[in-house]
Structure 1
Amino acid sequence: MLISIVAPCYNEEDVIELFHDQVQQVADRLLPLGHDMEFVYVDDGSRDRTLAALQRLADRDARVRYVSFSRNFGKEAALLAGLRHASGDCVVVMDADLQHPPELITRMVKLREDGYDQVIARRTRTGDRMTRTLTARLYYRIVNRLVDIELVDGVGDFRMLSRRVVDAVVNLSEYNRFSKGLFAWVGFPSTTFEYENAAREAGRSSWSFRGLLNYGLDGLLSFNNRPLRAALHLGMGLLVCAGLYTAWIVGAALVNGVQTPGYVTIITALTGLAGVQMIMLGVIGEYTGRIYYEVKRRPHFLVKATNVDRAKDLIP
């Protein structure tokens, strides 16, 4: 079995060679069992010398294939590029910062031999800050009530995929991609095991709070239209409330006569309704913007340098 290791890289100059050495050790242990490996690295427009490091790895190891983007297109585009260029019978998707322990690949291979199409590594939250743990649990609880698929807390991109799962995911050509959701959407027999997340060996995470927030919104909006339905229900509820309030005002006027209307009541009602309208417009605008990007059909990424078949880079 040929195993492809797909690792997106962004400013990983300090750790990429150490990562390759550790994964190569796993490959050497699997080779006597009849499993070979290839390494597919995707440089997501790094600002350091990550590309030079990948070129050095390719010079000394013929199994290394690299793709370097013309700019930073994001991790989702890097994952898609890696899956497109992977030719293995199965593919292991993992981060290049060594937070995904390479020694777990051996365990994935054993579970893959049991017939599973997806072998998923689910990290525990041991050592995480309490605020981060509670925020994550709240997010997944809310999202799983809304989306049409199940997203599991602690499950990320670290997993082994069979060839038919890889082909299914690559054939989903949507521009706004949320790989964690796509892996769940395609289905196929899956199994999950837990592991403790490791610390970064070098460098610092490129994820900011804003980036994590946008990533969470992508997960919420990519697999359902319930926010639009919620906006409709909220509008109907406000209409009913406005009708009841109007009936109450008219009834009070008929019984007690016309009184001077309250300034505070009017301002509060106008401000509240304006805020609700802006939220509704924002939800509609978010979906409209996604349609806007989809109909343009721009490529997900542009390649600056690679040592593999350039024809695959032209797929939109």
Structure 2
Amino acid sequence: MTTVHTSVVVPCFNESEVIEAFHKELVGALEPTGTAFEICYVDDGSSDRTRAHLGQLAAADPRVRYTSFSRNFGKESAMLAGLRMSAGDVVVLMDADLQHPPHLVPRMLELHRHGYDQVVAQRDRTGEGAVRTALSQAYYRLVRRFMDVEVIDGAGDFRLLSRRAVNALLALPESNRFSKGLFSWIGFDTVTFTYTNVQRAAGSSKWGGRRLLNYGIDGLLSFNSRPLRMAIHTGLWLFLSALAYALWIIANVVLDGVETPGYATLITAIVGLGGIQLATLGVIGEYVGRIYHEAKRRPHYVIRETDETATATPQELVREAVSSK
């Protein structure tokens, strides 16, 4: 059996319009390198013909492997499944929409040969709207300030990982996975290079505003407990402010004999404190919800079929997903 040097993991969700063009371009970029490679596609419960296309690619090319989920479990689960499938000494993670240019993979392999365990392709903001750019930059500034790991603006999932880096990622047991943070958390020698942002070759982005917002919240809560610490600080600050205000009112009454009207102040305090309490409860609820999901120990995904077995029973597929955790 030929030893695989490079595994390329490609999560797919409704990419039937572009998957064949992507595959052709990726193979064209990998073959000149002279390395033994495999391409591991993960269909994340697509509703179009993505799974059928992957089956055809696997039948036509022995270097192609694929796994198809029973429903959409999300990109984090798809990347995890791909990492578990991979057999190469190095693993390249990339998207199928050609926004991650395949011609950059040989450059990543070359940098890996210089001893780096992670090679990160960082996109610039070319062609991106001004509002989205401003919001993204503000988010990453917030992340750098509050998270316990470093997340670089523009450094996403397009990266090369050595086998020991992959093994470190697979050893992490959490259900609520935020890969950008996990990549930074495991450490190892890392190098970054920048490439020009590329528009999708076909179809539309699966990342709308609400989904991006939820993903950003996941990132902030996954790697620190500072929101809870901020709630404590806010409570102490409000207590001291209320104490100072009470002392000021008492001093006014003692010195001037004036009763300070307090209706507007009272209403403002009630509304402000109520909002802070609700926000704090929401933060606590997010952490409790994460504990709840971790405690259930459900598998990250359920497999519908793979290129190795498309006829396994649902019970066998669930057991496979559980045993791979």
Q: Same fold (TM over 0.5)?
A: yes
Alpha-carbon deviation of 1:63?
Answer: 1.2
Within-5 A mapping of 1:153-232:
153-232=153-232
**Contact map agreement 2:30 2:105 (CA 8 A) in 1:** no
Q: Deviations over 1:228-280 (max 9, x none)?
A: 10100000110111111122222223334463733211111111111111111
- AA at the equivalent of 1:222: S
**Which one of the candidate residues 9, 13, 20 is aligned to 1:10?**
13
Gaps of 5+ in 2: 310-316
Which residue of the partner structure matches residue 150 of structure 1? 150
Per the TM alignment, residue 226 of structure 1 is displaced from its structure 2 partner at its CA by 0.6
- Identity percentage of aligned residues: 55
CA deviation after TM superposition for structure 1 residue 59, in Å: 0.7
CA distance in 2, matches of 1:199, 1:134: 19
CA distance in 1, matches of 2:206, 2:96: 13
Kindly tell me the number of residue pairs found equivalent between the two proteins.
313
Matches within 5 A, 1:260-275: 261-275=261-275
**Cα displacement (A) at 1:40:** 0.5
* In 2, Cα distance between equivalents of 1:261 and 1:67: 69
Q: Which runs of 5+ in 1 are unaligned?
A: none
Measure, in 1, the Cα distance between the counterparts of 2:200 and 2:261.
63
User: Which of 13, 29, 34 is the aligned partner of 2:32?
Assistant: 29
1:85-100 superposed matches below 5 A = 85-100=85-100
- More moved, 247-256 vs 280-289: 247-256
Partner residue in 2 for 1:141: 141
Q: CA deviation at 1:124?
A: 1.0
Q: Which residue of 2 aligns with 1:248?
A: 248
Q: What amino acid sits opposite 1:182 in the alignment?
A: L
DSSP 3-state at the match of 2:235: helix
Equivalent residue number for residue 300 of structure 2: 300
Q: Is the 1:85–1:312 Cα contact (8 Å) retained in structure 2?
A: no
SS at match of 2:153: coil
AA aligned opposite 2:198: A
User: What is the rounded CA distance, in whole Å, between the counterparts of 1:183 and 1:57 in structure 2?
Assistant: 30
Tell me how far apart the structure 2 counterparts of residues 223 and 151 of structure 1 sit (CA, whole Å): 11
The one-letter code sitting in structure 2 at the alignment partner of 1:23 is L
**SS class of match (1:194):** strand
Q: Does structure 1 retain, via aligned residues, the 8 Å contact 2:39–2:63?
A: yes
CA distance in 2, matches of 1:197, 1:2: 28
Distance 2:25 2:18 in 1: 11
Contact 2:117/2:162 (CA < 8 Å) preserved in 1? yes
TM-score, normalised by the number of residues in structure 2 = 0.93
Q: 15, 18, 23: which is aligned to 1:20?
A: 23
Matched, 1:288 2:280: no
In the alignment, is residue 313 of structure 1 matched against residue 321 of structure 2? yes
Question: How far, CA to CA, are the matches of 1:48 and 1:59 in structure 2?
Answer: 19
Stretch moving more, 134-143 or 246-255: 246-255
Contact 1:39 1:64 in 2 (8 A): yes
Paired residue type of 1:99: Q
Contact 2:68 2:303 in 1 (8 A): yes
Give the TM-score of the pair, scaled to structure 1: 0.96
Taking the aligned partners of 2:321 and 2:275, their CA distance within structure 1 comes to 45
Partners of 1:53 and 1:258 in 2: CA distance = 81
Counterpart CA distance in 2 for 1:28 and 1:90 is 16
User: 1:101 aligns to what?
Assistant: 101
Aligned-residue offset at 1:301: 0.5
CA distance in 1, matches of 2:222, 2:157: 17
